[in-house]
Structure 1
Amino acid sequence: MHAASRPLTSRTLRAAAASYRRGTPVPRGPTGRVDLTDLLADPYADPADAERRLALTERRLFDAGDRRAVFLTVYGTVTSRVRRGLASDRFADPEWVGAYLTAFANRYRTALSAYECGERDRVPRAWRLAFDAALAGDTLVTQDALLGINAHVVHDLALALVDVGVHPKPARRADHDAVNAILAELVDVEQDLLAARYAPGLADLDEAGGRIDEAAAFLTLAEGRDWAWHCAVALADGGPLARRTVRWLLDRVSAGAGRLVLAPSRYGGARDRLLALERS
């Protein structure tokens, strides 16, 4: 388990412990409100296919008033920008990054497809939490975005990296980290999109609850992506016990971080005011 020792920080252990808390949103089965079958049935073939179908999924959910669109507004923007970077000199191995982008998107697709089919046992805990919360309709836009980012980065990313291979480590780690620069460029863009599409009453999402102390600190993309890389290396290099342990950590830490995002005590009285602003 030496390769995974770095992710075992006090923060990840607190998140893992939080996964055992109760008080999650009311479980939901198939929504029956939006038919996504044609968009989810087949795996994404390549980055262009992933970008196109993610955008269509977001539009269909958004038009139906389904808050699961919130995460896709963020994720679709990231996918589009990284795909454009494949044609530049940002990556040493753009073919690998393209495969990585596609495998990552397919992790989201399979989670949403299983959820839509009512196959909850096939949906990772963190995604069940995110989808249930979005459909319950009691969350802030910021919470919906963070819940999706948490499930996709803290749970899915390590598995996607294993799907496409992490070796040779130094070269591929450099390309993995190169994505962080793109993400940093998009922070303001994404927040403006969320404000424009879902919360017109919020002039500044950072100021209006965009950070959720230690939960959001863990979910900063650079830290979450570093966590995912180390977990992927442990999955690739470790023995059976190490692999089982890392998979347990991916499940529990992502679920616990999601529950920290939802904890109402972290907003205090500001949460009700923020909800009122969002819905004005």
Structure 2
Amino acid sequence: MAQSQQYEPLAAAQGVDAVIARMRALAAGLPPRDGVAVFNRVYLAVTEAVDRAIDSGPAGGFPDRAAAVTLDVRFAERYLTAVDGASPGPALGPACWRPLLQFRRHPGVHPLQFALAGINAHIGHDLALAVVDSCHALGCAPAALEDEFERVGDLLITLEERIREELMPGPDLLQVADPLTHLLGSWSLERARDAAWGAARALWALRGLPGVAAEFARSLDTSAGLVGRMLLTPLPG
């Protein structure tokens, strides 16, 4: 994915509501055990929390409502564009989402792995490009969105916590030597979020060099795809 996608302007009052409606529609058409459905459930819950926080104004941690809506919608759009309507099996589109789309119904992949692979794709690739999309839409540099980025990042931490609470196997199944324990310890949301902010700033600085920016964006995509494939390693039952 080389360039920032172009979207129609979204009214601040309905942008996040429209995203939530699309996530709900996606969930309605998927079996519960489907890997995309697993990630979509937890992402929907967090998006609904973001919507409530934005509606509460500065009290919710979003003093600039228009910027918060723009970033949240541009971020979600990248996920929805990648998976909405995609059939199970190998898919084209961003490399970061291909492992989840390919293995989404594999019986040897734990729901927790599906959820973490979705977070990895969304933060490791989509978040940086969504910041750049938002900057173009709002006519600002990334620094102007740093507060909104940090607040969204805080809510993403709750996404990871929710995933672990809902999908973590019982302590009798999650031993130190268990392969799933190893996978859980191999990826960090906080480090991925920090890397996404650095990547967004780099992409913005490279906007006058579209060829170099495209190459950098492809490297983000490829790297996230490799990590996602590792996270979805089928494990013995």
Please, what TM-score do these two structures have when normalized by structure 1?
0.66
1:135 corresponds to which of 70, 83, 105: 105
1:176-196 Cα shifts (integer Å, max 9, x gaps): 01122223345443333336x
% same residue? 28
> 2-side partners of 1:98 and 1:194: how far apart?
29
Give the residue type in structure 2 aligned to 1:181.
Answer: D
Aligned twin of 2:146: 173
1:76-107 Cα shifts (integer Å, max 9, x gaps): 11211111110232013121111111111111
State the Cα distance separating 1:59 from its structure 2 match: 3.3
1:102–1:138: structure 2 CA closer, same or farther, 3 Å change rule?
same
Give the residue type in structure 2 aligned to 1:101.
Answer: D
State the Cα distance separating 1:235 from its structure 2 match: 1.7
CA RMSD of aligned residues (A): 3.1
The answer on whether the counterparts of 1:142 and 1:210 sit within 8 Å (CA) in structure 2 is no
1:66–1:169: structure 2 CA closer, same or farther, 3 Å change rule?
closer
Give the residue type in structure 1 aligned to 2:152.
Answer: V
Aligned twin of 2:75: 104
Q: Which runs of 5+ in 1 are unaligned?
A: 1-41, 196-201, 265-270, 276-280
Residue pairs, 1:56-135, within 5 angstroms: 56-62=25-31, 65-88=33-56, 89=58, 90-113=61-84, 115-116=86-87, 120-121=91-92, 123-135=93-105
> 2-side partners of 1:205 and 1:91: how far apart?
41
1:225 corresponds to which of 193, 213, 217: 193
1:51 corresponds to which of 5, 17, 20: 20
Residues matched between the structures, number: 215
> 2-side partners of 1:182 and 1:204: how far apart?
26
> 2-side partners of 1:258 and 1:205: how far apart?
26
Give the residue type in structure 2 aligned to 1:61.
Answer: L
Please, what TM-score do these two structures have when normalized by structure 2?
0.77
Q: Which runs of 5+ in 2 are unaligned?
A: 1-7
The answer on whether the counterparts of 1:103 and 1:163 sit within 8 Å (CA) in structure 2 is yes
Aligned twin of 1:4: none
State the Cα distance separating 1:135 from its structure 2 match: 2.4
